[in-house]
Structure 1
């Protein structure tokens, strides 16, 4: 939790500078599981943990495993920093249009439907009640303003009307349903038997977290020893890192769309990916056991609350850091009943899926070409990961490392669907207007076509000094980065300008011919 907060502060303040919460990436679970299945990390055959010769308890040194996870995570994250700093992602984005972004972003939400169902199935009634209050506060009565006592130097004490339901729909919904669940817990409406799935709807189902959590804990580097690395572990972590990068790029566009900000330019995306790598390196050093990435569910909350202030999200990051240091505070958040979390995710991830679909407004959806590409991308993005989860042993290329990379990459729906969309969109013939590339890049290229609003993606305090150094224009993470701007304008010049130029040349040719005839 401490690392989630630190990564959020770094990303919102210095990284992509969009309101995005950072958190532990589930994508890295798969390579960790594969890594731990190696011969030197397997548990002893005696399941009881006893030494068969002496009969004494054997201690399995789990810190050896943690050091292996840390080392490979640091190495893969260092690669991510290089990818962002060298502008590789920004270069690839020159060929990315709405037909790539739409499946990438939408499948982030759709592919996590099983996670939402896992939370909701603990008690569908509580989950639907949470969803009901979320919809009530965020859609039906979101414009209702409540008088709130306020104070200002100019007006002193006064009453101010604030749309509190629009600002705090999640807080109100969780609080109301949590209190209701507590009443049902006290009256023993929910079962006491922990083997029954509805038991997780009780407010005391995870109380042991509160009792076991320490009051204070300080993350320290190398607390498990010096990290170790291996080729197989690095390749697995690298595959998860690539998948996380693709998902994060989709999140950046979704966050910008929901925030009403200009679409992120190349330098902001490069910087965001680089700082995700920096945060993941720190995670590896302190032994958090996971990399950090953008949290899609929190992006959906922006659409519900209409709050996209960087100050708010940086404050949230500070709160997460405090909760990570003060163990009891973090534990208090962790005991929220699972069906309440499921109801919240249901709306949040649904918003992310719909944001991906909304990107299609830039391309011609009456085109059979576009409809075909989109349909194949969505279906393949859902089908390939499902097939791999059931037939992972059938991926055999002759290299264990390559097999692991393929399983992790194409086991992620957003990467699989986005890759298919990217490939088809760039090889199937179609005009830039039909593909939506011209309008998409013109909207993204804020430096030439649509000025950035209040320097949204400028670095704080130092941008005015960076602008004085012309060499910074070649740095992929600099706000003044303009390496590809001329090529953008040349390739994606407005159609009417090209038509006017062509008409002018034809007119000149006709005049020459007329004069020669005379």
Structure 2
């Protein structure tokens, strides 16, 4: 393997399998990503995504968006626990810039800006950069503390070892991935603006990981991935429009968006990645905090992602972002999703016993069922492993349970 990626195949957890089985398993995961992309493209081309989004009323959107935010509290708490001081500092700065100083305009940051038919000489600078500036500032503080060898981050041995294994200082600056010939260095799923990154080290021997492996298990997981990602993406589309106070997104726009996400997952599966493309709740909520609803920002972020994807060494720098920073960003962004979901209750008769039951039952079961499956002593067993994986993959996703239950009850319970 390439220098800097030798630890990619080292077992970091007990009872892990050998390298060959590990590579075959990841090929199978890539096959699931490929299947997911194909199904998402079918859902977009057929118009089913837009139809479903258009028929989701406030009684479906309110609990679904709320549960999207609430379902991330465990991960946010885990990341923040590495250093609550750093996480709280980032949250304090984001809240101050986006809420208290949102109307502040700096004279040296003035440029023409058209919004809703009016032309302003400048934009609310601190609100526009209310996520980027705190993120950069806190990262600088953490870098200074690390430079002077001041202990500030508490990591368990597994996380510390993983951070060292993902080091890519000796990786090449440029590496072009291609299908079927193995991919090198470090490919990362990057959420621009928030700094969220999920690094995945890849072996680099040519041909070590070849084309995706399609099996019944990959097909089952791919179907579940497509359903979950599609529901999450539709929620992002609705959430973004709500936060930017624009008219409801038309069905054809939802269909185009899902088609592009499916195409991205299709390419990701062909390149051997263990993860596809989907809309980011954190990015959407960051858009609400900054009110930077510009297509140019999305295009720039996409270009940056492409550059980082072709440079293992640059992408490796993202693995050094402290977990506490991730946790702070999750706290402020997913809180926006919860609040937006609650705001949809104003369009419903919340005093109705029927509506109270639908909302409460859907949200409670969405939190209960994944918890039950996660702690159950006896796993789900239907006698066929692919079917078990399909059910578990769907029933462990809170947004699927909330959306399905609320949509079903809304259209079947009279009142």
TM-score w.r.t. the length of structure 2 is: 0.81
Secondary structure at the aligned position of 1:292 is classed as: coil
Offset, 1:47: 6.7
Rounded to whole Å, the distance in 1 between the matches of 2:122 and 2:332 is 27
The match for 1:170 is: 131
Deviations 1:68-87 (Å, cap 9, x if unpaired)? 33333323321221122112
Specify whether residues 212 and 269 from structure 1 end up closer, same or farther in structure 2 by C-alpha distance, changes over 3 A only.
same
Rounded to whole Å, the distance in 2 between the matches of 1:405 and 1:195 is 32
The match for 1:134 is: 94
Specify whether residues 393 and 208 from structure 1 end up closer, same or farther in structure 2 by C-alpha distance, changes over 3 A only.
closer
Map 1:6-155 onto structure 2 (within 5 A). 60=20, 62-93=22-53, 95-148=55-108
8 Å CA contact 1:239–1:405 kept in 2: the answer is: yes
Map 1:303-314 onto structure 2 (within 5 A). 303-314=288-299
Secondary structure at the aligned position of 2:275 is classed as: coil
Rounded to whole Å, the distance in 1 between the matches of 2:111 and 2:402 is 51
Specify whether residues 75 and 163 from structure 1 end up closer, same or farther in structure 2 by C-alpha distance, changes over 3 A only.
closer
Q: Is there any run of 5+ residues in structure 2 with no aligned partner, and where?
A: 1-10, 113-120, 182-208
Rounded to whole Å, the distance in 1 between the matches of 2:251 and 2:240 is 15
Pair 1:338 & 2:323 matched = yes
Secondary structure at the aligned position of 1:179 is classed as: helix
1:222 to 175, 180, 188: 180
8 Å CA contact 1:324–1:330 kept in 2: the answer is: yes
Offset, 1:254: 0.4
Map 1:386-465 onto structure 2 (within 5 A). 386-391=371-376, 393-430=378-415
Offset, 1:63: 3.7
Pair 1:209 & 2:148 matched = no
Rounded to whole Å, the distance in 1 between the matches of 2:147 and 2:159 is 15
Paired residues in the alignment total 367
Rounded to whole Å, the distance in 2 between the matches of 1:220 and 1:315 is 23
Rounded to whole Å, the distance in 1 between the matches of 2:400 and 2:110 is 48
8 Å CA contact 2:66–2:340 kept in 1: the answer is: yes
Map 1:206-355 onto structure 2 (within 5 A). 209-223=167-181, 224-355=209-340
Deviations 1:185-234 (Å, cap 9, x if unpaired)? 3444316986579989xxxx769625144211112112232333112221
Specify whether residues 196 and 137 from structure 1 end up closer, same or farther in structure 2 by C-alpha distance, changes over 3 A only.
farther
Secondary structure at the aligned position of 1:183 is classed as: helix
Specify whether residues 228 and 193 from structure 1 end up closer, same or farther in structure 2 by C-alpha distance, changes over 3 A only.
closer
Offset, 1:385: 1.0
8 Å CA contact 2:180–2:210 kept in 1: the answer is: yes
Rounded to whole Å, the distance in 2 between the matches of 1:208 and 1:108 is 29
Offset, 1:389: 1.3
Q: Is there any run of 5+ residues in structure 1 with no aligned partner, and where?
A: 1-42, 50-57, 153-159, 431-518
The match for 1:361 is: 346
CA RMSD of aligned residues (A): 2.8
Offset, 1:176: 2.1
Offset, 1:305: 0.7
Deviations 1:438-484 (Å, cap 9, x if unpaired)? xxxxxxxxxxxxxxxxxxxxxxxxxxxxxxxxxxxxxxxxxxxxxxx
Offset, 1:169: 1.4
Offset, 1:150: 6.3
The match for 1:380 is: 365
Secondary structure at the aligned position of 2:96 is classed as: helix
Specify whether residues 313 and 183 from structure 1 end up closer, same or farther in structure 2 by C-alpha distance, changes over 3 A only.
same
Specify whether residues 145 and 410 from structure 1 end up closer, same or farther in structure 2 by C-alpha distance, changes over 3 A only.
same
Offset, 1:357: 1.6
Secondary structure at the aligned position of 2:218 is classed as: helix
The match for 1:156 is: none
Secondary structure at the aligned position of 1:365 is classed as: coil
